[in-house]
Amino acid sequence: MFRYSKGFILPVLAATMMTAPMSAENVSVSTPKTSLALDITKGETLKFLYYGDRLNAADVAQLQSAGTFGKDAYPVYGLSAEAQAALSVQHADGNLTLDMSVEGFEQVAEANAKVLKVQLKDRVYPFYVTVCYRAYNDVDIIEMWTEIKNGEKQTVTLKQFDSAYMPIRRGDVWMSHFYGAWANEAQLSEEPLKPGTFVIENRDGVRNAQTSRGEVMFSLDGKAQENSGRVIGAAICYTGNYKLRAVTDESEYHQFFAGIDDYNSEYHLKKNETFVTPVTAFSYSKEGLSGVSRNFHRWGRKYKLANADRERKILLNSWEGVYLNINEKDMAQMMADIKSMGGELFVMDDGWFGEKYPRKTDNSALGDWKVDREKLPNGIEGLLDEAKKQGVKFGIWIEPEMSNTKSELYDKHPDWVIKAPKRELRTGRGGTQVVLDLANPKVQDFVFSVVDDLMTKYPEIDYIKWDANMHISNHGSQYLTADNQSHLYIDYHRGLEKALQRIRAKYPDLTIQDCASGGGRVNWGYLPYFDEFWTSDNTDALQRVYMQWGTSYFFPAIAMAAHISNAPNHQTARTVPLKFRTDVAMCGRLGMEIQPKVLSDVDKDQCRKAIADYKCIRPIVQFGDLYRLQSPFEKKGVASLMYVTEAKDKAVFYWFKTEAFCNQHLPRIPMAGLDPQKRYRVTELNRIDHSPLSFEGKTFSGEYLMQNGLEIPYGHNADWGKANEWASRVLLLEAL
Ligand code: GLA
């Protein structure tokens, strides 16, 4: 809803555009519980006034009287050259400055949101910026982006071009952000904002979430709490390099900037060309970090994630089971095993392709998406027949943006790879992996055709795992002209998005997993094209407690693939009992990644029961609201979280012991998100204990559970081998 300082509310009609009277100064956009207010005065600098709890018109009108005079809403470089800027350009005549003032604004009503667009123009040059805000009607998310237009006679160079800017009033502001590495993604770091500039930057070129992540939360009332306190969250929704900056200078505000990374990415904006920056989505909540997470999850499920209204299938992936040693016999056996345990889908991972250069190791065949008939004499058809016979769906792995120098594709099209002129190729995985140049439209067509050919030949394929296992090493596009080499990072991702858009337009129902050496592409820029992501190549259940925790800040469980794998674990060599592995995997989109042959009958039976139970809680996990309760990063010896249905009639509570010592004291965990008035019956899932817990089958009020919580025993009362130093619990709560 739009409000003006004069207090009248414009009626909002779907898909209508309204031009507002320019006498209006303070303008706000609102979501159900939040407002953002600007001072939009014609001929003046656009001012950001407020972001927080929803305001009424009278308070919006009074913001200046309350002493808030605002900051530039989209600071540009030039006349205040000493200040931090969101936009910096060089005009054709060499002038490095901008001086933007408000020309006007318009408001567009969409089906589920309203968009406010404020037009700015340089006071001297025909150079325009439209600053855009989309406020959703039903979720507390406001998206920001800009449209930068060159009306000058010649090319203007964009040197810095952020999507969004947000001033945050100083106080005791803490920032939560994520760092990591392969097999250790989404590690949480939380610290107070201190003087200086904190930069989170990604320069991978291909995968933008493996090391740092493009999301942050700011806790305004001191160290972040999960379920209380004011928190602002921000997520840049982009597939490529990004830069987030939190600047604390001498002013009254911390200043947050988010945008495409300008690193070696100067962009030459042609006459009449418009550069649209990616969306940065913001949320504000008074319900702490988890409150902001729930807002992002809801928005993501409603408006971003592909097919988010559909329950995800329980699958077995072949990677950790057989690695590259694909063969028909093992594939058939794995299909039969996952079916026998109640699974619904089998995914054949890397290793199935390559004709002239069969993929025996990881140094060949990427780009040659033809079946290796030695491994699979009956081809994909044979596997699809087998899957049909077994009663499971079939999925397949591809890495369409990549090639090996040992491939027919590279033999034919050496000019399709990213490579610096006059230089030897620097290669990746297997000593031969190279990245295809998606700036090139022919490569975009090829990438589209990888999926299109498979789906045309084998329309029964239900699921594709789309991998990307290399960064851009060699800065050089063999397609772009010499003077536009700095467009490589941006044009790569424009090309990738074009290919993905075509794929989604043609195959909207296909399930596609976003994987990039594990969790290297966990960003909302990807998820409109994907149904889920592979959280990490690390399947060790203990480390997963941490990685899934970090991931859950911005991404919902429905998209977070979590697989039960081998013990000892292939990445950490840690031996974690099946019970704990199962419980951790049941926090996300449950699957398995193991050669089921290694499981004993008892273990298989345990998996079968877990899968059956997961089917009961699947709607709660995949569509419910997340309440994080006790962070593993606080090192209290325990981690705990829960999912609650919107109706608050069902919930699943998880508890994981993260350390084991004799006579230790773990905190009791009060629950959250329940209806205090309702009574909930407690049932333990995945039980291994000889005797039931004291609260099994008993009922408690939501009030009691949220004030006190249940005393969870620190260990299991079970046989040796089942009971050991590990302890975890999954409790189903059902309102009477
Ligand atoms: C990447 C993925 C893995 C697996 C391998 C196959 O590392 O993250 O899950 O698919 O590639 O080569």
Question: Best substitution site from 396, 433, 467 to test ligand 1's pocket, by max atoms within 8 Å of Cβ?
Answer: 467
Other C-beta atoms closer than 10 Å to the C-beta of 322 total 18
Kindly state the average pLDDT of the residues 685-701. Answer: 97
Main-chain phi, psi angles of 629, to 5 degrees: -110, -55
**pLDDT value at 511 more than 60:** yes
Q: pLDDT for 137-190, tens place per residue?
A: 999 999 999 999 999 999 999 999 999 999 999 999 999 999 999 999 999 999
pLDDT greater at residue 203 or residue 22: 203
Residues in the chain: 736
**pLDDT value at 460 more than 50:** yes
Distance 378 CA to ligand 1 centre (A): 24
**pLDDT value at 9 more than 80:** no
Task: Please report the pLDDT score of residue 158 as a whole number.
Answer: 98
Q: How confident is the model at residue 18 (pLDDT cuts 50, 70, 90)?
A: very low
Distance 484 CA to ligand 1 centre (A): 33
Ligand 1 atom having least distance to the Cα of 593 = 9
Domain 627-735 has CATH 2.60.40.1180: yes
Q: pLDDT for 309-329, tens place per residue?
A: 999 999 999 999 999 999 999
Q: Which amino acid belongs to residue 453?
A: D
Q: How confident is the model at residue 704 (pLDDT cuts 50, 70, 90)?
A: very high
Q: Which amino acid belongs to residue 61?
A: A
Which residues sit opposite 258 in a β-bridge? 164, 244
Distance 479 CA to ligand 1 centre (A): 29
Q: Which residues contact 605 (CB under 8 A, 6 or more apart)?
A: none
Q: Tell me, yes or no, if the two domains 315-623 and 627-735 fold the same way.
A: no
Ligand 1 atom 1: residue of nearest CA: 517
Distance 175 CA to ligand 1 centre (A): 32
- Render 235-284 in DSSP notation, one character per residue: EE--SS-EEEEEEE-SSSEEEEEEEE--TT--EEE-TT-EEEPPPEEEEE
Give SS3 for 493. helix
Q: From CA 154, how far away is CA 476, in angstroms rounded? A: 25
Distance 518 CA to ligand 1 centre (A): 7
**pLDDT value at 366 more than 60:** yes
Ligand 1 atom having least distance to the Cα of 537 = 8
Main-chain phi, psi angles of 709, to 5 degrees: 80, 175
Distance 327 CA to ligand 1 centre (A): 18
Q: 697-706 contacts: CB < 8 A, separation 24 or more?
A: 699/736, 701/676, 701/677, 702/648, 702/671, 702/674, 702/675, 702/676, 702/677, 702/678, 703/676, 703/677, 705/670, 705/671, 705/674, 705/680, 705/733, 706/670, 706/671, 706/672, 706/673, 706/674, 706/676
Task: Please report the pLDDT score of residue 720 as a whole number.
Answer: 78
**pTM (two decimals):** 0.96
Ligand 1 atom 7: residue of nearest CA: 517
Q: Which amino acid belongs to residue 238?
A: Y
Question: Best substitution site from 318, 397, 402, 433 to test ligand 1's pocket, by max atoms within 8 Å of Cβ?
Answer: 397
Question: Best substitution site from 316, 320, 469 to test ligand 1's pocket, by max atoms within 8 Å of Cβ?
Answer: 469
Q: From CA 219, how far away is CA 677, in angstroms rounded? A: 30
pLDDT greater at residue 70 or residue 485: 485
Host H or E run for residue 410: helix 408-412
- Render 562-577 in DSSP notation, one character per residue: EEEE-SS-TTT-----
Task: Please report the pLDDT score of residue 540 as a whole number.
Answer: 98
Kindly state the average pLDDT of the residues 573-582. Answer: 97
Main-chain phi, psi angles of 242, to 5 degrees: -135, 165
Ligand 1 atom 12: residue of nearest CA: 350
Task: Please report the pLDDT score of residue 10 as a whole number.
Answer: 35
Ligand 1 atom 4: residue of nearest CA: 319
CATH class of 2-304: mainly beta
Main-chain phi, psi angles of 307, to 5 degrees: 50, 40
Residue 33 in tokens: 């519980």
Q: From CA 501, how far away is CA 479, in angstroms rounded? A: 21
**pLDDT value at 661 more than 60:** yes
Distance 106 CA to ligand 1 centre (A): 47
Task: Please report the pLDDT score of residue 69 as a whole number.
Answer: 84
Distance 324 CA to ligand 1 centre (A): 10
CATH class of 315-623: alpha beta
Task: Please report the pLDDT score of residue 61 as a whole number.
Answer: 95
Ligand 1 atom 6: residue of nearest CA: 350
Distance 543 CA to ligand 1 centre (A): 18
Distance 331 CA to ligand 1 centre (A): 17
Q: From CA 363, how far away is CA 604, in angstroms rounded? A: 35
Task: Please report the pLDDT score of residue 317 as a whole number.
Answer: 99
Task: Please report the pLDDT score of residue 25 as a whole number.
Answer: 86
Ligand 1 atom having least distance to the Cα of 429 = 12
Ligand 1 atom having least distance to the Cα of 515 = 8
Ligand 1 atom having least distance to the Cα of 349 = 10
Distance 571 CA to ligand 1 centre (A): 13
Ligand 1 atom having least distance to the Cα of 465 = 10
Beta strand extents in 277-361 (DSSP E only)? 280-285, 315-317, 345-348
Distance 205 CA to ligand 1 centre (A): 18
Task: Please report the pLDDT score of residue 347 as a whole number.
Answer: 99
Residue with tokens 């009574």: 679
Question: Best substitution site from 512, 517, 536, 539 to test ligand 1's pocket, by max atoms within 8 Å of Cβ?
Answer: 517
Q: Using DSSP, how many helices (H) and how many strands (E) does the chain show?
A: 12, 38
Q: Check if the beta carbon of residue 437 is closer than 8 Å to that of residue 369.
A: no
**Would you list the domain boundaries of the chain?**
2-304, 315-623, 627-735
Distance 467 CA to ligand 1 centre (A): 7
Q: From CA 27, how far away is CA 290, in angstroms rounded? A: 29
Return the C-alpha torsion angle 306, 309, 314, 316, nearest 10. -10
Give SS3 for 159. strand
Residue 253 in tokens: 């505000």
Question: Best substitution site from 360, 515, 594 to test ligand 1's pocket, by max atoms within 8 Å of Cβ?
Answer: 515
Q: From CA 250, how far away is CA 246, in angstroms rounded? A: 13
Ligand 1 atom 11: residue of nearest CA: 517
Give SS3 for 532. strand
Residue with tokens 């706000």: 28
Q: How confident is the model at residue 3 (pLDDT cuts 50, 70, 90)?
A: very low
Residue with tokens 């994907």: 530
Q: Which residues line ligand 1 (CB under 6 A)?
A: 319, 349-350, 397, 467, 469, 515, 517-518, 534, 537
Distance 76 CA to ligand 1 centre (A): 43
Q: How confident is the model at residue 70 (pLDDT cuts 50, 70, 90)?
A: confident
CA 334 from centroid of its chain's CA atoms? 30
Q: Check if the beta carbon of residue 629 is closer than 8 Å to that of residue 666.
A: no
Q: Check if the beta carbon of residue 587 is closer than 8 Å to that of residue 626.
A: no
Residue with tokens 């090829």: 446
Q: How confident is the model at residue 719 (pLDDT cuts 50, 70, 90)?
A: confident
**pLDDT value at 23 more than 80:** no
Distance 361 CA to ligand 1 centre (A): 13
Class of residue 480 by CB neighbours under 10 A (exposed 0-12, middle 13-18, buried 19+): middle
Main-chain phi, psi angles of 635, to 5 degrees: 55, 45
Distance 239 CA to ligand 1 centre (A): 19
Residue 670 in tokens: 């009060």
DSSP 55: -
Distance 605 CA to ligand 1 centre (A): 28
Q: How confident is the model at residue 7 (pLDDT cuts 50, 70, 90)?
A: very low
Task: Please report the pLDDT score of residue 722 as a whole number.
Answer: 74
Q: From CA 28, how far away is CA 39, in angstroms rounded? A: 9
Residue 298 in tokens: 């809801």
Question: Best substitution site from 182, 326, 349 to test ligand 1's pocket, by max atoms within 8 Å of Cβ?
Answer: 349
Q: Check if the beta carbon of residue 358 is closer than 8 Å to that of residue 375.
A: yes
Residue with tokens 């042609």: 270
Host H or E run for residue 71: strand 71-72
Ligand 1 atom having least distance to the Cα of 518 = 8
Mean pLDDT of the residues in the chain? 95
Task: Please report the pLDDT score of residue 268 as a whole number.
Answer: 98
